[in-house]
A and B are shown apart, each in its own frame.
Chain A
Amino acid sequence: MSTHDGHDKRPADVERFPAETAKKINSLATGLLVVGVVGAAAGYFMDAKAFPSAYLTSFFWLTTIGLGGLFFVLIQHVTRAGWSVAPRRHAEWLTAILPAAAVLFLPLIAFAPTLWEHWMGEHAHHDPLIVAKHGYLNPTFFYVRAAIYFVIWIGLSIWFYKSSSTLDSKRDDSVVEKMQAVAAPSLFLFGFSLTFAAIDWLMSLDPHWYSTIFGVYIFAGAVTAALSVLCLINIRLQGVGLLNRVSTVEHRHDLGKLLFGFVVFFAYIGFSQYFLIWYANIPEETIFYKERWVPGWQTISWMILLGHFVLPFLVLLSRHPKRNSTVLGAVAVWMLLMHWIDMYWLVKPNFDHHGAHFGIADVGALLLMLGVGAFVVARRATGSALFPLHDPRVPEAMRAENL
């Protein structure tokens, strides 16, 4: 596979999905969307009490995948990475989730009084701790902030995708330079918006509890999930023979290394949060882990430690599994499941105090998010090239090799 001899013997890359394939992908995604809507309706009508928190769980699961994709795009531009032109395009597809997430947020407005009742409801006025936080935690400011997050996310999602798309038809280095220049300040916007969204939508479910590392924890999970999807896209596009040069086993290996790194990073952040709370032993902080250490939730807590860290760490440690499409694919699917369980573990103990009650509402909400995600990502993927065709770094990406 060496390219030192000057001519590349690998089959050329296909530029776009063949019309037939694109049609199949879109109809499959539409099918998933229909299943999702029906599933969510069933979940809502059969278990209306559990549905709002189930919806929030899966909403955050999907949104963080889009945000992880956005982070991947930004970081490739900031580092001027050459190996990753194809995965970057696939991450741009993932950011199509973000405009959809704004629509998916609307039902949360209806669910808000149930979800965030501790600070939106009556007793907010009698609880001195919550009264003290009223300047930040009040419905008006809450919705204004949500609007700001979505403006940032949708703006970045569309602008970076549109700019990158211009490289599909012709080479234009000024576009690349502009994306690189915009990416750096965008990372600040990204970091702050993700952190505050995590505080607003998840941490404020229990407004007494606080953790300064919470945003980073969500970020780590988001990037893990997005990298998992990128691994799956990489494996699939090679498996069907569409990409043979810009996205190869070498890029899969690189994505696997990043996934491994973020699995470790997630554990590092998760432990840092736990460790300080364990050491300080302050009741209003330890409540978070106490709630998650009752029978039932204890099992889920162990699952996060073992399934979100120990298992993928051991599996991905060596280079061989990272280059093996079956093993890496299995780990990627597993990590997406673990990311959902992590979201479930963050949201649900605030409502189910006596152990997890997994039910139809959870399945329905997850199906809806899967359907919406598949639908918007499929539409963007089939409407664009499989990689930025005339990106000046395409030759560099084709040469990528791991020592």
Chain B
Amino acid sequence: MADPKGTTKTGRAPANVYAVVGMFTSPADLYHACEHLRDQGFRDFDAHTPFPVHGLERAMGLKPSPIPWIVLGGGITGLATAVLMQWWMGAIDYPWNISGKPPFALQSSIPIMFELTVLLSAFGAFFGTWALCRLPKPFDPVMQHPSFYRASDDRFFVSVEAKDPKFDVSKVKATLEKLGAQEVTEVSP
């Protein structure tokens, strides 16, 4: 997110710069660039690749994703919902004798318990990812880089955002160029 005033804490970024974006031709170059930025202490930078690059999360120094915990929460919620719902419907709200089975039995409840656990786990994974990635996001300033469409084809991009405390336009541009980036460009918010 761009700073509303357009300046960073250190004030070394012009108001009209959102990020500096550089393009790499191979996953290996991108990998090294991320390692370098990570070791330099940058945190607000991102990588854009046409396919998953193994180990990139380590090269970028990303923390483990909280998604597994969201999924676990969804699963437990689904399980609890299934038990309570079937117990309330079968034993409390509308008890009915069906072929001599008890009004509420764990045996016959298990398929629904399983299904709702899976369903809400999947919701947790799907919508959790949306929330964490702030999706849907039809536009991101980084897309203004003239060659960014190739991020879904055959090029690898690194964007260093102006909100990073260590951000300095000319230094970041020099760093990226030294790392082998082409078309190093500033993008506006």
Contact = CB atoms under 8 A, between A and B. Distances in A.
B13 to A, nearest CB: 31
17 contacts: A2-B54, A2-B58, A4-B27, A5-B32, A274-B107, A275-B108, A275-B110, A278-B107, A279-B101, A279-B107, A281-B99, A317-B72, A318-B68, A399-B54, A403-B52, A403-B54, A403-B57
Interface string B101-135: 10000011011000000000000000000000000
A399 B55 CA distance: 11
Contacts of B55: 1-2, 4, 401
Nearest to A318: B68
Interface string A87-122: 000000000000000000000000000000000000
User: Chain B: interface secondary structure?
Assistant: helix
Contacts of B24: none
Contacts of B108: 275, 278-279
A357 to B, nearest CB: 29
B107 A401 contact: no
B117 to A, nearest CB: 11
Nearest to A403: B52
Interface in B14-61: 27-28, 31-32, 52, 54-55, 57-59
Interface in B62-79: 68, 72
Interface of A: 1-2, 4-6, 271, 274-275, 278-279, 281, 317-319, 399, 401, 403
B105 to A, nearest CB: 8
B107 A275 contact: yes
Given A5-B28, A271-B110, A279-B101, 8 more contacts: A2-B54, A2-B55, A2-B58, A4-B28, A4-B55, A279-B107, A318-B68, A403-B52
A215 B12 CA distance: 70
Contacts, number: 35
A271 B112 CA distance: 13
Nearest to A5: B28
Contact of A2 (B59, B72, B99, B100): B59
Contacts of B101: 279
Contacts of B58: 2
B53 to A, nearest CB: 8
B29 to A, nearest CB: 9
A93 B99 CA distance: 51
Given A401-B54, A401-B55, A403-B52, A4 B107 contact: no
B3 to A, nearest CB: 32
Nearest to B58: A2
B52 A2 contact: no
A359 B151 CA distance: 67
A2 B31 contact: yes
A34 B39 CA distance: 59
Contacts of A279: 101, 107-108
Contacts of B107: 274-275, 278-279
A4 B27 CA distance: 8
B68 A4 contact: no
A274 B59 CA distance: 49
A369 to B, nearest CB: 34
Contacts of B100: 281
Contacts of B31: 2, 4
Contacts of A274: 107
Nearest to B27: A4
Contacts of B57: 403
Contacts of A5: 28, 32
A183 B31 CA distance: 39
